[in-house]
Amino acid sequence: MTYDVQHWIAGAETPGSGSTQPILNPATGEQVGTLHLGDASTVDRAVEVAAAAQREWAQVSLSKRTQILYRMRQLMIEHTDEIAEVITREHGKTVADAKGEIARGLETLEFATSITQDLKGGFSENVSSGVDAHTMRQPLGVVAGITPFNFPAMVPFWMHPVAIATGNAFILKPSERDPSASSIVARLYQEAGLPDGVFQVVQGGKEVVDALCAHDGIAAVSFVGSTPIARHVHQAASATGKRVQALGGANNHAVVMPDANIEFAAAQISSGAFGSAGERCMAVPVAVTVGDVHERFLEAIAAEAKKLRVGPGSDPSTDMPPVITADAKARVLRMTDEAEQAGGRIVVDGRGLVVEGFENGNFVGPTVITDLDATHPTYTDEVFGPLLVVMHVDNFDEAVALVNSSPFGNGTAIFTDSGHYARRYQEEIQVGMIGVNVPIPTPVGYYSFGGWKDSLFGEHHAHGPEAVGFYTRQKAITTRWPAQNESVESSMSFPTH
Ligand code: NAD
């Protein structure tokens, strides 16, 4: 039996514009649900409701807002199994991985529960005699978030807890591939006591995204997804005067220095390359061996890849799940074929894998390729699948140059025993998030997340302190209370202190 997924507007399930799209289970290829798509009129309705709700929400005391967020946290913990199950069904990832993304998303909710601290302004007495100065931060109004398929719980949580805690109303447009987690979150916010209209969900694709970017009633857009769409959203929403943060794609490199513990590095890079079938923006699709460790690393990573059990995310013994769609699988297979035709050595071949009982699933095995030219698209492009390219350079400087030649700058890692090279790497690399002997250096919720270059368009990183800056506007107030009989001669010169 399949289910329907609708919009969540004004605190209730709301039907769509009439067009629908199937929701598929990546492990079986079967339709599990029907998504009701929105259009510009759905966005109009959501913005109208959000604007009215936000005016009242911004007046709700900080302690009351915080209490609602605490209740939401508790409800999310109680409903983790239910949300993880729908994520596994629609996204494909393992249940343990789905629970992991929920826990990481909750870090931002936990950060938002101390918004009382982050919204404190500054105060200075007597900036001039009898004159005081203070600052305060106010919400922007109605803000929107547009999110990718690969983290249907965590990435929206990078946005809405801080947006809501700071007094905004938030409209979420989740990925059309795995939309159900957001519907559950909407229901739980209502149960937690959030007034209707402060958190809403509009389902759909390009039409809804473009309507959100164009709408005059929306003050800011947060986007996470692929680089071409991030660039498009940044341009479209900026053109209508909105504040925009648009996080794009990635092609993260892990550098393996000659002094590294090779077995440790291989195990860590295996989890970065093949965890969640490589469909993480902080995945490690490229390893760069430095000096004479290349063949040793290939042996170690091949051993790790061959250990992995590929299967449906619902099976607790599965290490690596299917990719999201048949197209995504075809892309990994094509990029493997093209690498081979260009002279690449296929060290571990993920092609031709069949999972018994799941013959129609989007399964592809872990793949390791080396001896590829640095201009080959299988190396330069974001594959977003379980495919690791192992490049080789002679020394540290060449490794830095190779990593910095990528147009992406999301995450990177260095595996080494040398503090000297680890420190130089942090300084010289043009990447936003860096791991030292850590393959997926995703910052915790009370730091901010963001890449450089084609991995982020806009000034603000996501979640943590930068999210408070993104979702608020500051005022600086200068105050003087003259005595009733105080007289001062007027001066035409610019005031100094
Ligand atoms: P995507 O760009 O296809 O979709 C992201 C969102 O944009 C979705 O909500 C989708 O409905 C919408 N969209 C798709 N096509 C559109 C179009 N033509 N016009 C307007 N809107 C459109 O990305 P995806 O496939 O869902 O997610 C995977 C991508 O997201 C990868 O590139 C990955 O690296 C990236 N990602 C980046 C980060 C990060 O923090 N930088 C985090 C997660 C995912």
Q: How far is the CA of 144 from the centre of ligand 1 (A)?
A: 15
Residue 154 — φ and ψ, nearest 5°? -65, -45
| Mutation choice for ligand 1 from 226, 235, 461, CB with most ligand atoms inside 8 A | 226
In whole angstroms, how large is the CA radius of gyration of the chain? 25
Q: How far is the CA of 65 from the centre of ligand 1 (A)?
A: 31
Q: Which atom of ligand 1 is nearest to the CA of 247?
A: 41
Reference 461, options 424, 410, 403; nearest CA is 410
Q: How far is the CA of 479 from the centre of ligand 1 (A)?
A: 47
Residue 170 — φ and ψ, nearest 5°? -120, 130
- Percent of the chain beyond pLDDT 90? 96
Spatial distance between the Cα atoms of 272 and 386, rounded to a whole number of angstroms: 10
Q: Residue 16's pLDDT is what? A: 80
**Residue identifier of the C-alpha nearest atom 35 of ligand 1:** 225
Q: Residue 490's pLDDT is what? A: 81
Contact 168, 141 (CB under 8 A): yes
- The pocket around ligand 1, CB under 6 angstroms, is made up of 146-151, 155, 173, 175-176, 205-206, 209, 224-226, 229, 232, 247-250, 281, 382, 384, 410, 451, 455
Q: How far is the CA of 414 from the centre of ligand 1 (A)?
A: 27
| Mutation choice for ligand 1 from 175, 176, 212, 231, CB with most ligand atoms inside 8 A | 175
Reference 241, options 223, 214, 222; nearest CA is 214
Reference 301, options 400, 369, 373; nearest CA is 369
Q: Which atom of ligand 1 is nearest to the CA of 173?
A: 9
pLDDT digits 0-9 by tens, 396-449: 999 999 999 999 999 999 999 999 999 999 999 999 999 999 998 999 999 999
Report which secondary-structure segment, H or E, holds 404.
helix 396-404
Q: Residue 71's pLDDT is what? A: 98
Spatial neighbors of 136 by CB under 8 A, at least 6 apart, are: 119, 121, 474, 475, 477
**Residue identifier of the C-alpha nearest atom 38 of ligand 1:** 281
ipTM of the complex: 0.99
Over residues 456-461, the mean pLDDT reads 96
| Catalytic annotation, pick one of 192, 281, 355, 431 | 281
Report which secondary-structure segment, H or E, holds 201.
strand 199-201
Residue 429 structure tokens: 């690399």
Q: How far is the CA of 397 from the centre of ligand 1 (A)?
A: 33
Q: Is residue 213 flagged as an active site residue?
A: no
Q: 254-279 as b/e, with b when 16 or more CB fall inside 10 Å?
A: bbbbbebebeebbbbbbbbbbbbbbb
pTM (2 d.p.): 0.97
Alpha-carbon dihedral angle through residues 74, 76, 80, 82, given to the nearest 10 degrees:
120
